[in-house]
Structure 1
Amino acid sequence: MSSPVSSPAPVVSRQNTTLHYGSVAKVFHWLTALLMLAVFPLGYFATDLAHYIQSADFDGAQATLNRAARLFSLHKTLGLTLFLTALLRILWALSQPKPVPLHPERRLETLLAEVVHWLLYGSLVAAPLTGWIHHAATTGFAPIWWPFGQSLPFVAKSEGVAAAFGGLHWLFVWTLAVSLALHIAGALKHQIIDRDATLRRMLPGSAPAVEQQTDVTHGVAPMMVALAIWVMVLAGGGALGLYAPHSHGPADHADASDTSTTPPAPSGNWVVADGTLALTIVQMGSEVRGQFDQWQATIDFEEPEAPGPAGTVTVTIAIPSLMLASVTDQAMGPDYFDSSTYPTAVFSAEILKLADGYVADGTLRIRDQEVPLRLPFSLDLQGDAAVMTGSVEVNRLDFNVGRGVMDEGSLAFAVGIAVDLTANRAR
């Protein structure tokens, strides 16, 4: 190694040199730091509030829901900003010379510093990107406030996709947090113990005078070590089951032998072979779609020659089986469906053939309220097979659902119900 030679403090420029960071790299560095200092606490407090909303202690206060939505929206918006900033920072770094370490003789320390840098750069991209994909795959409230980013190409609205990337996001966030802590500890060690210019050459202002050093090249070793750490982190996430859909409430734990939540076996002269019972609400201006996984229909139907009575139908629905994206647990709460007290809903109606189409005219009971309801539907009869499609809107307030939320901007009164089923004549 050549003897160190003192170099005068250079004039600050936009470009990096082998000894100093330029002004552009410094701006990217400190902008990234500020964004991380904002994103981390926002994510923590938003998640903590979400856990409270999902708990039995939550009183259904709309102010709490609005605060959670604002925190999540701000977290997502700044997270997307962090992602774009990290990409620009990496592109700039690739176009610039990298300042050499000030203590090249400390090979292990230099290697570890480079590994931490690889982990940091990777996490800065992976953590917000996985969070963005999780947002795009989830139907729910708390939108991103940028005029773009609500959805992503090739990312379907899917509970499985949302769960997988939610788990990945959690892992990458913690990897970023640990890498950041190690990076800060290293900078403080250089400043307090070594008393060198490692930290000062990243600070704004004129570049400090440093000694010319011989570069130490570790080749691909730091990157390979970082990749090995990533593999271990991802494998650990799989072992913990972080990529699988998680329970969203009582529906996921319902015992098939529990008659309080399981609809009775169907009877009648038609048997449902397949179908969906879907629900659509509008929360914070965004549609949230879901469906009931457990329901049974008892259908007695005979096609009349002329308009008039055609039979009866009774649909029994297991309320805890509702899957309503990110607000499932909230919907089960006492101010909404109150599924622990009212585990079933029942629609009983007379089927009428009209001059054009059909209608099921009867009542819908949800919670302790029974309300008249007419469900128009179309019916395609092909011998002993039938395909039925119908939809209707109801007012949630008629059923005492969400009485604590009287602001339609937060939660619309109208709730859409859609039924699609295929049935076969019983033999």
Structure 2
Amino acid sequence: MSRANTFTSYGNVAKTFHWLTALLIFSAFPLGYIANELAHEIQSPEFDGSQAVIARATLLFSLHKTVGVAVFFTALLRILWALSQPKPGLLHPDRKAEALAAEMVHWLLYGSLVAVPLSGWIHHAATTGFAPIWWPFGQNLPFVPKSDHAADFFGGLHWVLVWTLAASLGLHIAGALKHHVIDRDATLRRMLPGSSNQPQPPAQSHSLMPLLAALAVWAGALGGGAVIGVFGGHDHSHGNAQDHSTEGTVAPVVAVDPAAGGGWAVQSGTLGLSVTQMGSVISGSFSEWAAVINFEDPAAPGPAGDVEVTVSIPSLELGSVAGQAMGADYFDSANFPTALFKADIEKLAAGYQAAGTLTIKGQTVPATLPFSLDLQGDTAMMAGTLTLNRLDFGIGKSLPDETSLGFAVEVPVELVAKRAE
């Protein structure tokens, strides 16, 4: 059997690419489905923090992504080979509607085999993924920033294209079975290993109509996705149990003590949270918090005021793991919806600190926030990071080591405040 195609049959190289692609695709689909089911379990507030479930989801997502990258490169090589070869002719070109559908489906398949893994790969690169691709070339892509908007868009695009690929694949298989079982012709046998002595297809010509029809299908699929909102960060049910990170600057709701002469009103600020999970840093922020700040900068080291910060725990934006973080084994936001930081502000020989207590999940522990302060008239710009141990607050008690979830939690704080009149 020749390695090259002829007008009558496919060569060994084309057959190898075809069946290798089929093997990879039929591996990627169940891996993604099962991993996604585990993702929903992990994201649910009822999740008990089982390390076995998290580890299984990690394994399956890494397998899914690695197979997806293999599909991408296999598809590229397959297309390059196809461009260099004659295409075996249709056995029934006189059946115009059937011929149009067959060639349209081939265009859909070829395009989807590149677009589906590429969109998933870009989604992975735009997020801080806990489930890595198993290869030595890194997890990022050129020109793809770490961006929630990019991740949401390409995550939605991946979801739409996966369904387009699934539909095309179903039509392709149905067509092959129809030729083999009903028509009893050689269409399917031409792609089977070792097949030879195939019938000569009749003379035929090709037009751009199948390509235009495929483009119309893609446009319809993308338009439908836009209508149902999959490109705007909705749950696409395709993705990564813990692959999203959310970082934002939100102007908080701030209360100022009007009786205090040193009251300051926060104009803008970020109250963040970062934790290491499965070796990757996942970052987020709280969108609702309130601060009462009394501060007078002394000439020498010593007391400088006090601060009280109330944080709405359910306002934590942590990508797809936000729901999990609200569960009973973590923040238990249903029973403990707020956190409270109360501290005295002190000027040090170099810098400042707010030393007091932090209450989370009903546990009050000493906490000290060192920070820098840039005072320019009645405007103050502050930045600091509070480092906590999650076990001090009973968070993630079912994860007693750092295999899945690190002990250290970083709480970066940045704000701009103006002296209250």
TM-score range, shorter chain: over 0.9
- Whole-Å separation in 2 of the counterparts to 1:346 and 1:330: 21
- Whole-Å separation in 2 of the counterparts to 1:307 and 1:60: 45
2:200 paired residue number: 212
TM-score normalised by length of structure 1: 0.91
Residue aligned with 1:139, SS: coil
**1:139 Cα deviation after fit:** 2.2
- Whole-Å separation in 2 of the counterparts to 1:14 and 1:218: 24
Give, as a single letter, the amino acid of the residue that structure 2 aligns with 1:288: I
- Contact persistence 2:45–2:324 (CA under 8 A): no
| Cα offsets for 1:195-225 (capped at 9, x unmatched) | 22111111112x3222323332231110001
Residue aligned with 2:417, SS: strand
| Cα offsets for 1:111-137 (capped at 9, x unmatched) | 110000011111111111111111112
- Contact persistence 1:101–1:215 (CA under 8 A): no
- Whole-Å separation in 2 of the counterparts to 1:365 and 1:277: 16
- Contact persistence 1:197–1:208 (CA under 8 A): no
- Contact persistence 1:80–1:128 (CA under 8 A): yes
Sequence identity of aligned pairs in percent? 62
1:390 equivalent to 2:380? Answer no
**1:392 Cα deviation after fit:** 2.6
The correspondence of residues 260-275 of structure 1 with structure 2, limited to 5 A, is: 265-267=255-257, 269-275=263-269
- Whole-Å separation in 1 of the counterparts to 2:175 and 2:197: 20
- Contact persistence 1:281–1:414 (CA under 8 A): yes
Q: Out of 56-65 and 286-295, give the one that drifted further.
A: 56-65
Equivalences, count: 402
| Cα offsets for 1:209-246 (capped at 9, x unmatched) | 22323332231110001111111111111110111123
1:296 paired residue number: 290
From 49, 54, 66, the counterpart of 1:65: 54
- Whole-Å separation in 1 of the counterparts to 2:153 and 2:58: 22
1:7 paired residue number: none
2:29 paired residue number: 40
**Structure 2 runs not aligned, ≥5 long:** 237-251
- Whole-Å separation in 2 of the counterparts to 1:372 and 1:156: 38
| Cα offsets for 1:345-365 (capped at 9, x unmatched) | 111100000111101000111
1:413 paired residue number: 407
Residue aligned with 2:321, SS: helix
1:245 paired residue number: 233
From 312, 322, 346, the counterpart of 2:316: 322
What is the root-mean-square deviation in Å for CA atoms of aligned residues? 1.6
1:17 paired residue number: 6
TM-score normalised by length of structure 2: 0.92
**1:152 Cα deviation after fit:** 1.6
1:176 paired residue number: 165
The correspondence of residues 330-409 of structure 1 with structure 2, limited to 5 A, is: 330-409=324-403
Give, as a single letter, the amino acid of the residue that structure 2 aligns with 1:235: G
| Cα offsets for 1:318-353 (capped at 9, x unmatched) | 111111133222111111111111111111100000
- Whole-Å separation in 1 of the counterparts to 2:68 and 2:135: 11
- Contact persistence 2:274–2:281 (CA under 8 A): yes
1:423 equivalent to 2:417? Answer yes
| Cα offsets for 1:121-174 (capped at 9, x unmatched) | 111111111111111122241121122351222222222221111111111111
**Structure 1 runs not aligned, ≥5 long:** 1-11, 249-261
- Contact persistence 1:140–1:325 (CA under 8 A): no
- Contact persistence 2:43–2:320 (CA under 8 A): no
**1:407 Cα deviation after fit:** 2.6
1:232 paired residue number: 220
- Contact persistence 2:7–2:89 (CA under 8 A): yes
- Whole-Å separation in 1 of the counterparts to 2:342 and 2:39: 36
Residue aligned with 2:230, SS: coil
- Contact persistence 1:72–1:142 (CA under 8 A): yes
